């Protein structure tokens, strides 16, 4: 069975005339953003303005002269994973177990730009202490009231409230030795 032939009308050609000398058109200076702003949507305009201001602020904060570390002589994407892990240790200051090449390249670049913390991670762990996490289940309204209370009392956190409350209770029932451990733990934390 043959399909019926349909004739399509030819589209007329549209000719656009260009100025004789395109280079004669004024170009915006290099320091000005070349975005076209819509006058119909002010929220988009505000977002564009915000992004432009942030970009200008970042450019002003970055050092003018790149350091030797910021301008590496090697191309990171050409390195294999073990070489990237070695470079990560050199730049970031701690080892990594990652084998994801894209992640390692990204992380090294971010560290060189100063966007991530470098050096060993600060840890709450101490070599001679083992920690246990105690589950504490409460209704959300009670937790909200507790949060208001510790903030009113000028404490640092909810955990600070729990430590001080436990300490006071233990002292009240005569468990001074155990209460002293809570005081020492709070002092070491700060």
- Between CA 139 and CA 148 the distance in angstroms is 15
- Give pLDDT, residue 127: 67
Place 141 in a pLDDT band, splitting at 50, 70 and 90: very high
Cα distance between residue 190 and residue 179, in whole Å: 18
pLDDT exceeds cutoff 60 at 82? yes
Structure confidence at residue 52 as a pLDDT band (50, 70, 90): confident
CA distance 181 to 178: 5
**146: pLDDT strictly greater than 60:** yes
Q: Residue 96 class from Cβ within 10 Å (0-12 exposed, 13-18 middle, 19+ buried)?
A: middle
CA distance 189 to 157: 12
Output Rg (C-alpha) for the chain, integer angstroms. 32
The secondary structure element, H or E, covering residue 137 is: none
Q: Is residue 59 predicted with pLDDT exceeding 80? A: no
What pLDDT, on a 0 to 100 scale, did the predictor assign at position 71? 45
User: What average pLDDT does this structure show over 95-107?
Assistant: 91
pTM of the model: 0.35
Q: What's the whole-number mean pLDDT along residues 76-104?
A: 91
Find, among 176, 172, 149, the residue nearest to 162 by Cα.
149
pLDDT band with cut points at 50, 70 and 90 for residue 16? low
Contact by Cβ (8 Å): 103, 63: no
Does residue 145 register a pLDDT over 90? yes
pLDDT at site 65 = 41
The tens digit of pLDDT for each residue in 169-185 reads 999 999 999 988 887 65
CB 25 within 8 A of CB 19: yes
């Amino acid at each position: 069975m043959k399909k019926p032939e349909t004739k399509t009308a030819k589209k007329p050609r549209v000719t656009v005339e260009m100025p004789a000398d395109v280079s004669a058109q004024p170009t915006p200076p290099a320091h000005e953003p070349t975005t076209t702003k819509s006058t119909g949507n002010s929220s988009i305009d505000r977002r564009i303005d915000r992004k432009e201001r942030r970009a200008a602020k970042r450019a002003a904060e970055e050092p003018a002269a790149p350091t030797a570390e910021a301008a590496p002589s090697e191309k990171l994407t050409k390195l294999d994973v073990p070489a990237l892990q070695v470079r990560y240790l050199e730049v970031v200051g701690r080892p990594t177990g990652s084998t994801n090449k894209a992640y390692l390249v990204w992380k090294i670049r971010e560290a060189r730009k100063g966007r991530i913390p470098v050096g060993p991670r600060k840890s709450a762990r101490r070599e001679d202490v083992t920690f246990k996490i105690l589950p504490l289940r409460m209704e959300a309204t009670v937790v909200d009231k507790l949060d208001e209370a510790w903030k009113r009392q000028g404490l640092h956190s909810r955990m600070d409230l729990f430590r001080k409350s436990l300490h006071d209770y233990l002292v009240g029932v005569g468990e001074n030795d155990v209460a002293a451990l809570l005081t020492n733990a709070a002092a070491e934390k700060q």
